[in-house]
Amino acid sequence: MIGGMEHDAGITIAAVRHFFGLVLAKDRVALELIDESVSDLQLLPQGFIFSLPALHRLLDPDANLTYSEFRELIYNSTLNQELSAFDAEVTLFKSTGKTDTSLYCLRQHQQV
């Protein structure tokens, strides 16, 4: 696990934000975790593509939070507002009409 992400009671929104910050900074360890992980996690030119279940498995491998709790944590957070400090956001990448099977993209805004 990446330093700063350990939490006995389960993953926190601060840990998700920390991980996203590492991905945006192109941290070698974070990028290797993505490369070595399950499907539904990809680094593409558009950004870091993920499904919520895959992100949950990556960030909380011991399932200290159930997937439902993790999804609620993400949706009840101000993550996108917080990511604006990195000039970044999470957007819908590919909709399947269902939250659990749709793909999302962590991307930095393009500098003009």
For 80-109, the pLDDT digits (tens) are 999 998 899 999 999 999 999 999 999 998
pLDDT of residue 11: 86
Q: Which tokens go with 39?
A: 């499907």
Q: Is residue 47 part of a domain?
A: yes
pLDDT at 85 (0 to 100): 84
Flag whether 6 is in a domain. no
Structure tokens at 101: 């099977």
The domain tally of the chain equals: 1
> What is the pLDDT, as a whole number, of residue 50?
97
Q: Residue 40 falls within a domain, yes or no?
A: yes
- Are the beta carbons of 29 and 5 closer than 8 angstroms? no
Those residues with Cβ within 8 angstroms of residue 106's Cβ, 6 or more apart along the chain or in another chain: 20, 23, 24, 47, 48, 50, 83, 88, 89, 90
For residue 104, is it within any domain?
Answer: yes
In a domain, 99, yes or no: yes
- List, in sequence order, every beta strand (DSSP E) within the chain: 41-44, 47-50, 88-94, 103-108
Name every residue whose Cβ is closer than 8 Å to that of residue 47 and which is 6 or more positions away in sequence: 105, 106, 107, 108
Is the residue at 7 inside a domain?
no
CB-based contacts of 30: which residues, under 8 Å, 6+ apart? Answer: 2, 19, 22, 23
Domain containing 59 — which CATH number?
A: 3.90.1150
Tell me the pLDDT tens digit for each residue of 39-62.
Answer: 789 999 999 999 999 999 999 988
Confidence band (pLDDT; 50, 70, 90) for 4?
very low
In a domain, 26, yes or no: yes
The answer to whether position 2 is within a domain reads no
Question: What is the span of the domain harbouring residue 60?
Answer: 13-108
Q: Which two tokens stand for residue 97?
A: 């009409």
